[in-house]
Amino acid sequence: MEKIILFGGASHEHEISIVSAIALKKVLSQPLRFIFIAADRRFWLIAPEQMRAEFFARHDYKKCPQLYPVRGGFEQRRWLGTTRIEGVAINLVHGADGEDGHLAGLLAFLEIPFIGPRLEASIMSFNKAYTKALAQQAGVKALESEVIVRGQQPSFDFPIILKPLRLGSSIGVGVAEDAQALEYALDVAFEFDDQVLIEPFVKGVQELNLAGCHTQEGWQLSIIEEPAKAELLDFDQKYLDFARTQSQQEAPLSEPLKEAVREAFKRIYRCGFEGALIRCDFFIIDETVYLNEVNPIPGSLSNYLFDGFETVLERLSHSLPKPRSIQVDYRYIHSIRSAKGKA
Amino acid sequence: MEKIILFGGASHEHEISIVSAIALKKVLSQPLRFIFIAADRRFWLIAPEQMRAEFFARHDYKKCPQLYPVRGGFEQRRWLGTTRIEGVAINLVHGADGEDGHLAGLLAFLEIPFIGPRLEASIMSFNKAYTKALAQQAGVKALESEVIVRGQQPSFDFPIILKPLRLGSSIGVGVAEDAQALEYALDVAFEFDDQVLIEPFVKGVQELNLAGCHTQEGWQLSIIEEPAKAELLDFDQKYLDFARTQSQQEAPLSEPLKEAVREAFKRIYRCGFEGALIRCDFFIIDETVYLNEVNPIPGSLSNYLFDGFETVLERLSHSLPKPRSIQVDYRYIHSIRSAKGKA
């Protein structure tokens, strides 16, 4: 089936998603379809040769054919009748809409097959407090944390890290080493959510990323990457990071540690991420694996971590969870009518 | 704004939803629009006089105009152009689709205003294990519980109650007093989900229901009902229960207990149920309030518990959470272009 890359969306990561889609175009062979979701959530069919960042920044997409999501696909309306676009959609809408379950709800309801997190998995990875519950369910360690609302003060000792509860990204995240920095970091974080997650900030901790998915052919796992050291990726760095297409070296790790990271990934993935290609970001503390966060739609799907990325995506597109099928036979209505003597 | 009742859906409670919509028609004044979601998830516009159970059981709805969900409403396609239906949708799809977040995702994404649980609240009330986490977050007690998968045995002493983890209803729920009954109850429960929630079964416990919502005018709370004693509502009883329109007497309770129930309701509601009219089912054990379950779309919205139900619904329809508005200014794309000297 044809692959349809869905990108953009009403999200703070709208531009990142554009860059991510352009990167994906470079690493996947044609034919690919590109469907852009504008900030007002209208859908537009973008020709592959139009996939340049400035095309969107100049609002040139508005000259493209507008599409409508319908049962099983997308529809282009013409003077006489309509044209349908069908295939496997790749949800590449980072942040809100794509990762918070809204797009998953729309696609699942309309029975459009898609690669990406399902509803429940979206909610569990988008809300960082629920991710802690997810880790617990999976039997994977996570840093202790607390959630505060405006006016509350964190109870942890400095340094701490502050994260808006529900942005699946590093936007609004800050570190506070003292009370003065705290005030600023709280202001920033509360700009993006009315609840903020607080964790102890562990300096110089080793970070490891692993991406992958499960398909009919078994586990498709990437190399384990030790991401470039920056205490935190700011938005500009992240923007560039999402454009990556150059393949990466595996981190030099002991075999038992690699195995522990892979095992932690599989345990998390089994908690409902079937159908998605996700990246788990881990911390290693005293040789123990801690889940930092689940990225259910990694930038350009972390293509640079895979050997044979296109094959992985192809396998995943044939291994999507089957939609529930419900038989409605109107048994109760019929039986009640017959009890009333009307059948 | 006109009210649009959305009912049916690809759900085991499809027929219950039809009955619930018919009950709602009796208690709300016209004009009302009725949009039926068939088991295949197509949308149909039903005329008020067609709102009879047998109309659906005989598949007569297929002769009605088909509708398509679009940005801001529903569209009927005609020979020349289209007709739009706009208003506040009341999500009356009980069980799957309506309560599991799929319909909420679709409606929110298309920016169709609706009464009903939002995405996160749907996930938290649909999955009974997450409801326990919700109660904890709200500071309301809940019975201890465990989740088992096929092949596992409950660790609790008999009698226990078994519930499929993710059906927002009493379907598949069973009580086991001994090992023999357990085997049967497990078979039934696992027919509906691959995870089952186990709780101790407390005999003769007092049950209390309270429905309500929060609007610009403040809290709109129903009377507190002590539901008719049946150890468990089976599907037939539930079917009849959803057709209720006769108003109910408040349970004779002490004022402090009433106040404790109302306080527990408000704490739960504030955990994300804004925009919905929900019913919380509580247990009273040793004069302490325990959350049993949250019903985020109660049958016929529990009209029979309210004095002035129509006013409550009207107020709620003017108090819906505002959709996020995201400004996309292509700042990063522009700044990167200018760094490259292309601006």
CATH code of the domain containing B172: 3.30.1490.20
Do residues B281 and B207 make contact, with C-beta atoms less than 8 angstroms apart? yes
Is the CB of residue A53 less than 8 Å away from at least one CB of chain B?
yes
Do residues B14 and B41 make contact, with C-beta atoms less than 8 angstroms apart? no
Residue-level pLDDT at A30: 80
Residue B342 has pLDDT above 60, yes or no: no
3-state secondary structure of A42: coil
Do residues A75 and A67 make contact, with C-beta atoms less than 8 angstroms apart? yes
In this structure, are A217 and A258 located in the same domain? yes
Query: Per-residue pLDDT tens for B98-123?
Result: 999 999 999 999 999 999 999 999 99
CATH code of the domain containing A91: 3.40.50.20
Query: Per-residue pLDDT tens for A290-327?
Result: 999 999 999 999 999 999 999 999 999 999 998 777 78
Residue A190 has pLDDT above 90, yes or no: yes
For A16, phi and psi rounded to 5 degrees? -60, -35
Q: Is residue A79 part of a domain?
A: yes
Nearest to A41 among B12, B109, B332 (CB): B109
Chain B interface disruption, residue of A18, A68, A109, most B CBs within 10 A: A109
Residues B31, A281: Cα–Cα separation, whole Å: 53
Higher pLDDT, A192 or B36: B36
Q: Is residue A331 part of a domain?
A: no
Do residues A257 and A286 make contact, with C-beta atoms less than 8 angstroms apart? no
Do residues B163 and B171 make contact, with C-beta atoms less than 8 angstroms apart? no
**Half-sphere exposure for B128 (CA within 13 Å, toward CB):** 29
Q: How far is CA B4 from CA A324, B67, B77, B94, B278, in A?
A: 26, 13, 18, 16, 18
Please judge whether B105 and A105 are an interchain contact, meaning their C-beta atoms are less than 8 angstroms apart: yes
Residue-level pLDDT at A27: 94
In this structure, are B168 and B275 located in the same domain? no
In this structure, are B87 and B21 located in the same domain? yes
Do residues B149 and B194 make contact, with C-beta atoms less than 8 angstroms apart? yes
Pick the range with the lowest mean pLDDT from A112-126, A161-175, B1-15, B262-276: A161-175
Mean pLDDT, range B174-195, rounded to an integer: 93
Residue B160 has pLDDT above 60, yes or no: yes
Mean pLDDT, range B50-76, rounded to an integer: 96
In this structure, are B189 and B76 located in the same domain? no
pTM of the model: 0.91
In this structure, are A129 and A251 located in the same domain? yes
Q: Is residue B173 part of a domain?
A: yes
Please judge whether A97 and B110 are an interchain contact, meaning their C-beta atoms are less than 8 angstroms apart: no
Return all residues near B225 (Cβ < 8 A) that are at least 6 apart: B208, B209, B210, B248, B250, B251, B305
Q: Is residue B323 part of a domain?
A: no
Residue B30 has pLDDT above 90, yes or no: no
Do residues B165 and B197 make contact, with C-beta atoms less than 8 angstroms apart? yes
Residue B175 has pLDDT above 50, yes or no: yes
Residue-level pLDDT at A38: 96
Residue-level pLDDT at B343: 40
Please judge whether B10 and A326 are an interchain contact, meaning their C-beta atoms are less than 8 angstroms apart: yes
Nearest to A53 among B14, B15, B333 (CB): B333
Q: Is residue B328 part of a domain?
A: no
Return all residues near B3 (Cβ < 8 A) that are at least 6 apart: B28, B32, B33, B87, B88, B89, B90, B313, B317
Q: Is residue A333 part of a domain?
A: no
Query: Per-residue pLDDT tens for B119-138?
Result: 999 999 999 999 998 999 89
Residue-level pLDDT at B143: 96
Query: Per-residue pLDDT tens for A18-68?
Result: 999 999 999 999 889 999 999 999 999 999 999 999 999 999 999 999 999
Q: How far is CA B225 from CA A291, B221, B249, in A?
A: 44, 12, 7
Please judge whether B15 and A56 are an interchain contact, meaning their C-beta atoms are less than 8 angstroms apart: no
Residue A269 has pLDDT above 50, yes or no: yes
Mean pLDDT, range A96-108, rounded to an integer: 95
Average pLDDT score over chain B: 91
ipTM, interface predicted TM-score of the complex = 0.88
In this structure, are A24 and A52 located in the same domain? yes
Do residues B15 and A330 make contact, with C-beta atoms less than 8 angstroms apart? yes
Residue B229 has pLDDT above 50, yes or no: yes
Residue-level pLDDT at A246: 78
Chain B residues whose CB is inside 8 A of the A130 CB are 130, 133
Q: How many domains does one find in chain B?
A: 3
Nearest to B41 among A18, A71, A103 (CB): A71
Mean pLDDT, range B248-257, rounded to an integer: 91
Residue-level pLDDT at B169: 66
In this structure, are B127 and B252 located in the same domain? yes
Please judge whether A120 and B123 are an interchain contact, meaning their C-beta atoms are less than 8 angstroms apart: yes
Nearest to B123 among A10, A57, A123 (CB): A123
Query: Per-residue pLDDT tens for A208-257?
Result: 999 999 999 999 999 999 987 654 556 666 666 777 777 778 889 999 99
Residue-level pLDDT at B209: 96
Which residues, numbered 221 to 260 in chain A, qualify as contacts with chain B under a Cβ-Cβ cut-off of 8 Å?
Answer: 235-236, 239
CATH code of the domain containing B228: 3.30.470.20
In this structure, are A71 and A16 located in the same domain? yes
In this structure, are A189 and A231 located in the same domain? no
Give the DSSP letter string of A223-254. EEE-----SS--HHHHHHHTT--S--PPP---
Query: Per-residue pLDDT tens for A111-160?
Result: 999 999 999 999 999 999 999 989 998 999 999 999 999 999 999 999 99
Nearest Cα neighbor of B97 from B19, B7, B170, B16 is B7
Residue A169 has pLDDT above 70, yes or no: no
What letter represents residue A50's amino acid? Q
Residue numbers of the domain that contains B188: 146-200
Residue B236 has pLDDT above 70, yes or no: no
In this structure, are B76 and B181 located in the same domain? no
In this structure, are A129 and A255 located in the same domain? yes
Residues A215, A222: Cα–Cα separation, whole Å: 14
For B36, phi and psi rounded to 5 degrees? -95, 135
Pick the range with the lowest mean pLDDT from A193-207, B223-237, B260-274: B223-237
Residue-level pLDDT at A343: 40
Q: What angle do CA B122, A38, A103 make, to 5 degrees?
A: 25
Q: Is residue B254 part of a domain?
A: yes
For B311, phi and psi rounded to 5 degrees? -65, -40
Question: According to the 3-state scheme, what is the secondary structure of chain B?
Answer: CCEEEEEECCCCCHHHHHHHHHHHHHHCCCCEEEEEECCCCCEEEECHHHCCHHHHHCCHHHHCCEEEEECCEEEEECCCCEEEECCEEEECCCCCCCCCCHHHHHHHHCCCCEECCCHHHHHHHHCHHHHHHHHHHHCCEECCCEEEECCCCCCCCCCEEEEECCCCCCCCCEEECCHHHHHHHHHHHHCCCCEEEEEECCCCCEEEEEEEEEECCEEEEEEEECCCCCCCCCHHHHHHHCCCCCCCCCCCCCHHHHHHHHHHHHHHHCCCCCCCCEEEEEEEECCEEEEEEEECCCHHHHHHHCCCHHHHHHHHHCCCCCCCCCCCCCHHHHHHHHHCCCC
Q: Is residue B329 part of a domain?
A: no
Nearest residue of chain A to residue B95 (CA atoms): A326
In this structure, are B66 and B150 located in the same domain? no
